[in-house]
Amino acid sequence: MFSFEVMTEDGKARAGNLVTSHGSIKTPSFVSVGTLASVNPLSVDELLNIGTQVIIANAFHLHLQPGEDVINRRGGLHNFMRWDRPLITDSGGFQAFSLGARKEARSGKIASMSNDKKFKGPGVHTEKEKPSISVDEDGIKFLSYIDGSERNYTPERIINIEKKLGADIIMMLDECTSPFHDYRYTKEAMARTQRWSLRALEEFKQASSDGQALFGIVQGGIFKDLRLEGARFLAEQDFSGYAIGGFLGESKKGMHDILDLVMPLLKKDKPRHLLGIGEIDDIFEIVERGIDLFDCIFPTKLAKTGTVFTKEGKRYRIHLLNSAYRYDTRPIDESCKCYTCMNYSKAYIRYLFKIKDSFAVRLASIHNLSFIESLMRQIRVAIMEKRFSELKREWLRDT
Amino acid sequence: MFSFEVMTEDGKARAGNLVTSHGSIKTPSFVSVGTLASVNPLSVDELLNIGTQVIIANAFHLHLQPGEDVINRRGGLHNFMRWDRPLITDSGGFQAFSLGARKEARSGKIASMSNDKKFKGPGVHTEKEKPSISVDEDGIKFLSYIDGSERNYTPERIINIEKKLGADIIMMLDECTSPFHDYRYTKEAMARTQRWSLRALEEFKQASSDGQALFGIVQGGIFKDLRLEGARFLAEQDFSGYAIGGFLGESKKGMHDILDLVMPLLKKDKPRHLLGIGEIDDIFEIVERGIDLFDCIFPTKLAKTGTVFTKEGKRYRIHLLNSAYRYDTRPIDESCKCYTCMNYSKAYIRYLFKIKDSFAVRLASIHNLSFIESLMRQIRVAIMEKRFSELKREWLRDT
């Protein structure tokens, strides 16, 4: 089962309802990142309390470990990780990219999401470096980071892996180019991704999809004509929804410009997922441009360092290790209704960070994810009440 | 409020009820170790679900960080860590010992509980090493491991720190000698600990104790006459209960012999806490000798390594990283009713350990602590039904 309905539009922002076999998602929605089939360090019960609607895991990593067969024997990813609400699997295109892109990446999405040391090939590796990955018409070949074995990843194969995993929404295999790829290579890669999309669709239709929905992915790097062409092409194909992936530019303005171009070309009645973006100011900008789903590692990544969200903090953050909080018996945010804020003081959580107790990260993660879910609820209500730009102004006034 | 009643005796084993201002403890009871005011990595809600009755924290560590005043401002340790059931604070005598004992410690309680590198002084440090700790009639002097500052720890001061922390049961300051101290030094230290016990009692009575109970600690190392003398002395003083601390011998037999000697001398109507002991076979031996409370870091320490308790496993353990469990869709223990076993397969938990997801340690800790609590329930019922030795035979038959 898969359906999507836009309930209200407020400018280009939309409030919708996405229905899957594992329940519905009110959009626009944050997608919690559970790359390895776990939203570390939280339990699924904690996620349910937080209000998490949907999790994105990664077929590439799960294929390498523990393997789709281990998960399939347990009845699929939902059962394996005991999450019976909506699940997405990404295909691993970005992973091919981050294994492949070069280390000069400095800014934006890449710098924040990838380990510099992993930036090698394809096409941009230095003479000395043997790339751990190669891309050709057939698909992606790479060496497993688990055991060094050679792996072959084709558009058809990833569909079959994702079918075994059984997520509600699955992504096609794409080639996610890096900011160091030039126009010519990016164009070539995008054309190849288009051919892969047709192969993925074909394979997807071969066997019963068990209610799964396949999303196509728009690539094209920072090149506007390529993004336009990619979006136009995908809109003609029979995908259930769209994802926008890859590098969108060095600046946030660059990302906004590309979204401004791409979004009008996608079919309005299909959901759009922006992959890997979602700082708090980004959320307003992307929702304003019609994004329905987005995933971002920031809330849990910041939590690991003791940085927690508050509306008043600089860039919506405060750092709990700050000595100002040593005696602070108040919660992180007095208006927050999350488990952390209802129960624990800043002083206690700060102390747990000081003694490196892992419960600290858990409490901070619960707060940060709850904060985002609460913001998304406010955004959905604002769209339904046609006052999204007012809410945006209220939040972004100081930035 | 503090009272203790022995309900049933079965040989020397006893089932009792210990009442504190924060609720009652059915004895014999395992005491969960929350040294730093947190039973890492669990939340208090998880502990309540596990059936945890009582937690022991450590006044020495909490004094150094975050400081008793931080905790007192939050309304005491119960509020600070949000545990409104019974709490014990240990005094730091063992920490003085482990900062002070030498690294040759090889076996038994010491080897399992202390970091070898910390074994220096008092009295047994080498010529070159400046001891980080010194003991005299007044108390213990040491350098803070947090900031290097010199700290003074007297029997009176620790009572005042523990009053500020506000645990239900507090331990007097003791000097916990190491296996490398000879008879003469151990005797001298024990005599000093006796004098400290009178000073602690005096200080304890000075101000309102807010329902707290003070326990005296039996020391004396492996020397039977010293243990006897220590127990006789304490039994004459006005403590609400007893703890047995320090090194009890290289072998488990040595520990049993000392308990056989000491226990009959302690007043029968007062609770007895064995500090820092509690492997599964130990539990039967110490309960059989009349121990009512014991704390042990093993269940959570083993959980961190992926080792979990089962009745059938060798030494009651299995190691989840074993490749035999890769496809094992069954819970750790099919008869176990804990959150982990009711929800997750061995294959999933094993996988979480493989990817170093901290949720793995949480699930294993929940299981291990639940396993111990379940065992203690069985033991309490067996004592009440006068069939403790039958239960012991059933469990220890293969060891």
Residue B124 lies in a domain: yes
Buried b (16+ CB within 10 A) or exposed e, B183-221: eebbbbbbebbbebbebbbebbeeeebeebbbbbbbbbb
Best A359, A361, A367 residue to mutate vs chain B (most B CBs within 10 Å): A359
Q: How confident is the model over B334-355, as a mean pLDDT?
A: 95
Helix pair A155-165, A183-206: axis angle to 10 deg: 50
Please state, as a whole number, how many other Cβ atoms lie within 10 Å of the Cβ of residue B140. Answer: 29
- Average pLDDT across chain B, whole number: 89
Statement to judge: residues A182 and A309 lie in one domain: no
Statement to judge: residues B72 and B11 lie in one domain: yes
Which residues, listed in sequence order, are joined to residue B87 by a DSSP beta bridge?
A: B55
Cβ–Cβ under 8 Å, residues A133 and A95? no
**Contact criterion met (CB < 8 Å) for B358 and A357:** no
**Contact criterion met (CB < 8 Å) for B41 and A348:** no
* DSSP helix/strand/coil, B222: coil
If interface means Cβ-Cβ distance under 8 Å, which residues of chain B face chain A? 36-38, 40-43, 65-66, 70, 73-74, 80-82, 326-327, 329, 343-345, 347-348, 351-352, 354-355, 357-359, 361-362
Cα separation values, A92 from A38, A56, B245, B310, Å: 17, 12, 56, 38
Q: How confident is the model at residue B142 (pLDDT cuts 50, 70, 90)?
A: confident
Q: What is the pTM of this model?
A: 0.87
Among A262, A296, A330, residue at a domain's last position: A296
**Is residue A182 flagged as an active site residue?**
no
Number of domains into which chain B is organized = 2
**Contact criterion met (CB < 8 Å) for B65 and A38:** no
Question: Does residue B299 have a cis bond before it (omega within 30 degrees)?
Answer: no
* DSSP helix/strand/coil, A219: coil
Statement to judge: residues B289 and B317 lie in one domain: no
Residues B173-219 pLDDT 10s: 999 887 888 899 999 999 999 999 999 999 999 876 678 999 999 99
| Cα dihedral B39/B45/B47/B51 (nearest 10) | 160
- Output the six-digit token pair for A72: 């399939």
CA B75 to chain centre: 24
| Cα dihedral B1/B7/B10/B13 (nearest 10) | -10
**Contact criterion met (CB < 8 Å) for A73 and B327:** yes
Write down the pLDDT at residue B150. 86
Q: What share of chain A is helix, strand, coil (3-state, %, to 5)?
A: 45, 20, 40
Statement to judge: residues B283 and B354 lie in one domain: no
Q: What share of chain B is helix, strand, coil (3-state, %, to 5)?
A: 45, 20, 40
Given CA atoms B224, B227, B232, B235 in this order, what sign does their dihedral have? negative
Distance CA B104, CA A120 (A): 49
**Is residue A90 flagged as an active site residue?**
yes
If interface means Cβ-Cβ distance under 8 Å, which residues of chain A face chain B? 36-38, 40-43, 65-66, 70, 73-74, 80-82, 326-327, 329, 343-345, 347-348, 351-352, 354-355, 357-359, 361-362
Please state, as a whole number, how many other Cβ atoms lie within 10 Å of the Cβ of residue B241. Answer: 23
Among B296, B326, B344, residue at a domain's last position: B296
Statement to judge: residues B310 and B279 lie in one domain: no
Write down the pLDDT at residue B178. 78
The two counts, helices (H) then strands (E), for chain B are 16, 16
Write down the pLDDT at residue A106. 31
In the chain, the amino acid numbered B191 is A
Please state, as a whole number, how many other Cβ atoms lie within 10 Å of the Cβ of residue B277. Answer: 23
Residue B65 lies in a domain: yes
Statement to judge: residues B150 and B122 lie in one domain: yes
* DSSP helix/strand/coil, B90: strand
Write down the pLDDT at residue A350. 96
The residues, ordered by sequence, that sit 6+ positions from B271 with a Cβ below 8 Å of its Cβ are B4, B16, B18, B27, B240, B241, B242, B292, B293
**Contact criterion met (CB < 8 Å) for B38 and A345:** no
Residues of B in contact with A74 (CB under 8 A): 329, 345, 347-348
Residue B385 has pLDDT above 70, yes or no: yes
Question: Does residue A264 have a cis bond before it (omega within 30 degrees)?
Answer: no
Statement to judge: residues B180 and B108 lie in one domain: yes
Cβ–Cβ under 8 Å, residues A1 and A21? yes
Residues of A in contact with B344 (CB under 8 A): 82
Residue B180 lies in a domain: yes
Residues of A in contact with B352 (CB under 8 A): 38
| Residue B314, Cβ density class (10 Å: 0-12 exposed, 13-18 middle, ≥19 buried) | exposed
Statement to judge: residues B286 and B310 lie in one domain: no
Cβ–Cβ under 8 Å, residues A25 and A169? no
Write down the pLDDT at residue B113. 33
Statement to judge: residues B238 and B325 lie in one domain: no
Task: Report residue A246: phi and psi, to 5°.
Answer: 85, -175
In the chain, the amino acid numbered A150 is E
Sheet of B133-135: strands edge to edge?
A: B133-135, B140-143, B150-153
Distance CA A175, CA B323 (A): 34
CA distance A237 to chain B (A): 37
* DSSP helix/strand/coil, B306: coil
CA distance A301 to chain B (A): 14
Cα separation values, A114 from A104, A106, A120, B388, Å: 11, 10, 12, 58
Residues of B in contact with A81 (CB under 8 A): 348
**Contact criterion met (CB < 8 Å) for B344 and A82:** yes
In the chain, the amino acid numbered A206 is Q
Statement to judge: residues A290 and A320 lie in one domain: no
Which of A41, A347, A352 minimises the CB distance to B74? A347
Phi-psi region of B267 (alpha: psi -120 to 50; beta: other; left: phi over 0): beta
Q: How confident is the model over B349-375, as a mean pLDDT?
A: 96
Write down the pLDDT at residue B28. 98
Residue B301 lies in a domain: no
CA distance B328 to chain A (A): 9
Among B264, B296, B328, residue at a domain's last position: B296
Residues of A in contact with B82 (CB under 8 A): 343-344, 348
**Contact criterion met (CB < 8 Å) for A359 and B43:** yes
Residue B364 lies in a domain: yes
CA distance B133 to chain A (A): 22
- Output the six-digit token pair for A55: 């999790």
Residue B334 lies in a domain: yes
DSSP state of A325: G
Statement to judge: residues A149 and A283 lie in one domain: yes
Write down the pLDDT at residue A270. 98
> B10, B282, B292, B295: which is the annotated catalytic residue?
B295
**Contact criterion met (CB < 8 Å) for B36 and A327:** no
CATH of the domain at A90: 3.20.20.105
Write down the pLDDT at residue A398. 59
Per run of 10 residues, the mean pLDDT along chain A (length 399 residues) is 97 98 98 95 96 96 93 93 97 70 36 35 43 84 82 93 97 88 91 96 85 94 94 96 89 92 96 94 97 97 97 93 94 96 95 94 98 98 98 84
Cα separation values, A375 from A30, A278, A369, B228, Å: 10, 12, 10, 66
**Contact criterion met (CB < 8 Å) for B41 and A326:** no
How many CA atoms lie less than 13 Å away from B374 in the CB half-sphere? Answer: 18
Measuring CA to CA, which residue among A44, A33, A363, A341 is closest to residue B41? A363
Residue B399 has pLDDT above 60, yes or no: no
Measuring CA to CA, which residue among A56, A42, A65, A75 is closest to residue B351? A65
Which of B40, B65, B82 minimises the CB distance to A358? B40
Look at A116 and B20; give whichever has higher pLDDT: B20
User: In sequence order, what E strands does A245-321 have?
Assistant: 272-274, 293-295, 307-314, 317-319
Write down the pLDDT at residue A144. 80
Write down the pLDDT at residue A150. 86
Statement to judge: residues A259 and A345 lie in one domain: no
Its domain, for residue A363, covers 305-396
Given CA atoms A275, A280, A281, A284 in this order, what sign does their dihedral have? positive
Write down the pLDDT at residue B208. 67
The residues, ordered by sequence, that sit 6+ positions from A284 with a Cβ below 8 Å of its Cβ are A379, A391, A392, A395, A396
Q: Which of A65-69, B207-211, B241-245, B297-301 has the lowest average pLDDT?
A: B207-211
